[in-house]
Chain A
């Protein structure tokens, strides 16, 4: 009995050892880091992913000596960067990564990105063709840390059928017109909105969006400080009053109930107007191609001086990248004319290069309006605390809309907190 048990035990222990051995042997291959292999990390699914793979193949064809390893990682973007952070900290990052451009400032400040300035100067890459705001957003303290790739802009989407039904002829230009139109378009039954005309903070209605549209700004480049401008405070006050008028709990019940993609409230006709990015066009084309809609600039208090802001992606070379030269070649190709054109065409996105957009979207009635707005677009301040500022501004908006605190004091808190960090 005991002998049998001992044999059993020894057998199982050996089985474990064999298994562990197999795992080690089978999986300890790690990254194929030969000198000519370039590893690219991206978090895109669907067409974005396919396009990166195509671009890699095209690059390999042009440069037979190099091999590109395109790796989808299950996250990438604002606040979802643990993998890249850990890889840089561990000293073994990818050679190139697709990176949220607005975080370039914070990451460059940490010294986690490779300075590309000299490489650009020595190469044939011409940054003139790129939108100035995109290049600015990819630079930190006068040095270039990323190649801009793709961009976006915000506009007011409106449902033409709803407008006709409510007897509104043209999209609102002023904030007052916007409110009047919203009121006409809203259908409320009890606490429940059958349809709501407009919700300022839905979609892309960030503090930045309205602050700029009201004519304010957020950062003083000379003093290197976050500012509190009365226009921004006014925009928050306007959102607060709007929330009060429509009852925030009821509106939240509505917004929480809205889905995305096919069930996006704008697509289902639950909302008549929404501020959103151009990516919405491809969602509409995919799920509701017969939607009768158009876009217009985001209304302002005066009805002129329209503005918008842009974000977008970029390619970066993390600090500690192994094959810098090869990586640079690849980056130049993907973020250059040919690569961007393919990427924008396949994913139906705006490129960071003006001429590509002119060429691709000349005949596209809606996309064209976005392209026309781009040259004068704003971008979020490129500072070491860009992510913190973004986060704080969002929180301030949420609190203001919920009537928790006076907008001016909320903005005061934001600027105090971020400025304190900037000083350090």
Chain B
């Protein structure tokens, strides 16, 4: 289609179009991006750079503190709770992110089928993400209540003896993963939007070739959904490493039982806002930054192998 159009034009004019296109594109690119350039400098770069500086000081929010060099970073290495927090956070990320992608894509595939009542189904899956966090934390503490909670109640109904969930060191993190999966609706909506973007033509062509549903999903849907999976993977990793509100609210900031729900950002928060060690907290934040950055770069580098864009 495109080549036909181009061929009818004289060669020299084509070159000049290309040139002006590049130049105007250059101007418009910056112009279109300008709100974000300003926003980023003001609302992101400035606080971010401040926190780099703070990480080398004994800043306490109230007091600017002194320059202490790498002291904060060195102290971290000897902070046993820091390592516990890392363990818990990595544990959560390793299990939650793949699970959330698997469940999210599967749900989206079902929700993309043309059956009756789809609007209601979609609303139901999206619903949990709408509940305010304070209420959600309270609600889950009740539901997972070992004795009168609904979950163990249902398990008892089928003759199973449910665990102590949030009261047990073994089960507390799986409980949190379960709760987080309940709030998967946002990712599902993104997958759904991605599925809508896949052209019907591909399926029609596959139909002609006699492909069955499973083949269609494997060869068309999943590959063409990869840009969105890629997005959810990156955001999932960033989000999982920054897990905070739910465990903090549920354990009243304590990370109980037995420190099994102390997450990285909770430790940052306690140091920064409870113990007046914002410098130390900033150092922790920058270590987190480097780790997530490394992981994201890895995902970006490998993405060239597995992410397919329809447009190209």
Contacts and interface: CB of A to CB of B under 8 A. Distances in A.
In-complex A–B contact (CB below 8 Å): yes
A398 B256 contact: yes
Interface in B111-132: none
Interface residues of A, number: 37
Given A79-B274, A387-B275, A256 B63 contact: no
Interface in B35-61: 58, 60-61
B166 interface: yes
Interface in B256-312: 256-259, 270, 273-276
Interface string A191-235: 110000000000000000000000000000000000000000000
Nearest to B145: A257
B220 interface: no
Nearest to A81: B273
A404 B273 contact: no
Contact of A257 (B60, B146, B254, B273): B146
Interface string A53-90: 00000000000000000000000001101100110110
B253 A79 contact: yes
User: Interface on chain A toward B: helix, strand, loop, or mixed SS?
Assistant: helix
A317 to B, nearest CB: 15
B259 A398 contact: yes
Interface in A390-414: 391, 394-395, 398-399, 402, 404, 413
Given A88-B62, A253-B167, A399-B259, A192 B254 contact: no
Contacts of B259: 395, 398-399
Interface in A283-333: 319
Given A256-B145, A257-B149, A398-B256, A111 B61 contact: no
Nearest to B255: A395
B167 A89 contact: no
A192 B62 contact: no
B168 interface: yes
B167 A391 contact: no
B62 A252 contact: no
A388 interface: yes
Given A255-B167, A399-B258, A391 B274 contact: yes
A257 B168 contact: no
Interface residues of B, number: 30
A112 interface: yes
Nearest to B164: A253
A252 B166 CA distance: 9
B215 interface: no
A399 B257 CA distance: 8
Contacts of B165: 256
Contact of A89 (B62, B148, B256): B62
A171 B55 CA distance: 54
B147 interface: yes
Nearest to A398: B256
Contacts of B147: 192, 253-254, 256-257
Interface string A379-395: 00000010110010011
B204 to A, nearest CB: 31
A395 B146 contact: no
Contact of A394 (B60, B62, B254): B254
A31 interface: no
Nearest to A193: B147
23 contacts: A78-B274, A79-B253, A79-B270, A79-B273, A82-B273, A86-B61, A88-B62, A89-B61, A106-B276, A110-B63, A249-B164, A249-B168, A252-B164, A253-B164, A254-B147, A256-B141, A256-B166, A257-B145, A257-B146, A388-B275, A394-B254, A395-B254, A404-B258
Interface of B: 58, 60-63, 80, 141, 145-149, 161, 164-169, 253-254, 256-259, 270, 273-276
In the A-B complex, the 8 residue pairs with the smallest Cβ-Cβ separation, listed nearest first, are A252-B167, A253-B146, A257-B147, A110-B62, A112-B62, A256-B167, A402-B258, A253-B164
Interface of A: 78-79, 81-82, 85-86, 88-89, 106-107, 109-112, 191-192, 249, 252-257, 319, 385, 387-388, 391, 394-395, 398-399, 402, 404, 413, 421, 424
Given A79-B253, A88-B61, A253-B164, 5 more contacts: A79-B273, A89-B62, A109-B276, A111-B63, A254-B146
